[in-house]
Homo-oligomer: A and B are copies of this chain.
Amino acid sequence: MPRPRREPRRPAVTVLRLGHRPGRDPRLTTHVALVARALGAQRLYLEPPDPGLAARIDAVRRAWGGAFEVVGVKDWKRVVREFPGTIVHLTMYGQALERVVPRLRRAKELLIIVGGAKVPGDLYRMASVNVAVGHQPQSEVGALALTLDRLLGVPGPGAWAGAHRTIVPTARGKRVRTIPSEAGA
């Protein structure tokens, strides 16, 4: 039975992706979701909702385990206002990540917000903190990856809870171990 990873206290992280464009190429938001999941966030709030994308990410979860979920959101301001924790807005204009990380690590609940090309101006004042990963034009996918890394670290190998598959790290090629389902599953 894979155990939950419990270590020195780490914040519970939710990611909010604003300005997704359903119907356009979904790859960029898919990458936001994959990074969020692979680096230990618990949930992606997706604004606006995209059930197709949520289903594809859920298929990843079913195969590879963990409890990550994509939750569609229509009213992002309400999500931000009602979030019971620290609101982190990733923007190239913000304060240096390294400077705010100690504060963020002490939080119990974090909402990390990544926008698209056009970010609503309100966000800068609704955020508890505006954070820059480098001070150059940057990808929100890259910025999210580095932020989650600083807060939660990169998980090591080993199957996640409920996984049907797990990777065996290898120098060449691909090794995937299949994990038998529980009886009746």
Contacts and interface: CB of A to CB of B under 8 A. Distances in A.
A96 B158 CA distance: 12
B130 A35 contact: no
Contacts of A102: none
Given A134-B155, A146-B154, A93 B139 contact: no
Contacts of A142: 31, 34-35, 38-39, 141-142, 144-145
B94 A170 contact: yes
B137 A64 contact: yes
Interface stretch (A6-14, A20-28, A69-77, A80-88): A20-28
Most B CB contacts (10 A, CB to CB) among A38, A39, A142 go to A142
A96 B157 contact: yes
A37 interface: yes
15 contacts: A31-B31, A31-B140, A34-B139, A35-B141, A38-B136, A39-B142, A92-B167, A93-B176, A97-B154, A124-B173, A130-B170, A130-B171, A134-B154, A135-B156, A135-B158
